[in-house]
Amino acid sequence: MEESLTISTIMPAERKRNITQVINDYSKRLFGFIRKRVKNEADAQDIMQDVFYQFVGNTQPIEQLSGWLFTVARNKITDSQRKHKPANFSDLYSDEEQDDIDGFSELLMDTGDDPEKEYLRTLFWQELNTALQELPEEQREIFIKHELEGVSFKELSEATGEPVNTLISRKRYAVLHLRERLKALKEELLNY
């Protein structure tokens, strides 16, 4: 049975008014706080809904309501980030960048006969290889195996004996370095 965030009709009228007032008073600030700390608006809305759901279900007195709401929000954000593991290089881009990424991917994966596109593809792969060589070996290997060869973190963990979270962390550092290192080239290619 699916639970919904509705205020029970059995709840006393005064409590309903108080809950409604709190939601109206804090929604905008709380959403802004959450949105700055998560990847996209949908995640921010989900987290805010979870915070208010926890507030509605709370039976203990709350002395500092603002502090309580923002602490719960911070905890929900942390929980959300722990659950999320970047599966692909492109997962680290925001929604606004996704359209650019799609065009970027099309350019890089296009196998047409256009000599200019072929030159740009070659340039990208050369720059990527150079940037990969700048990484520590452990980060480079995880990035190559997972991102380019498609080996799962679980398989990599079994092969190396390293915990999955360690491998995810190494890949994330690699992705952050590559993203920064290839930023200028990406802009040039997208403006092509």
In terms of domains, do 50 and 23 share one?
A: yes
Cβ atoms of residues 154 and 146 within 8 Å: no
Which domain, by its residues, includes 135?
89-190
- For residue 170, what are the CA distances in angstroms to 90, 144, 147? 16, 11, 12
Q: What CATH number should be reported for the domain holding residue 127?
A: 1.10.10.10
Number of domains in the chain: 2
Residue-level pLDDT, tens digit, the chain, 192 residues: 444 444 444 556 777 778 888 888 898 999 999 999 888 888 889 899 988 888 888 888 888 888 899 999 998 888 887 775 544 444 544 554 444 444 445 555 555 666 776 776 777 778 878 888 998 999 889 888 888 788 888 888 899 898 888 888 888 888 888 888 877 776 766 665
Q: What CATH number should be reported for the domain holding residue 78?
A: 1.10.1740
For residue 28, the model assigns a pLDDT of 92
In terms of domains, do 125 and 156 share one?
A: yes
For residue 101, the model assigns a pLDDT of 46
In terms of domains, do 58 and 132 share one?
A: no
Last residue of a domain, one of 34, 60, 83: 83
In terms of domains, do 40 and 115 share one?
A: no
Burial class (CB in 10 A: 0-12, 13-18, 19+), 48: buried
**DSSP classification of residue 179:** H
DSSP strands (E only) in the chain: none
Amino acid found at 75: N
For residue 2, the model assigns a pLDDT of 45
For residue 112, the model assigns a pLDDT of 60
Give which of 37, 24, 111 is closest to 74, Cα–Cα. Answer: 37
In terms of domains, do 183 and 144 share one?
A: yes
For residue 102, the model assigns a pLDDT of 46
Is the pTM higher than 0.75? The answer reads no
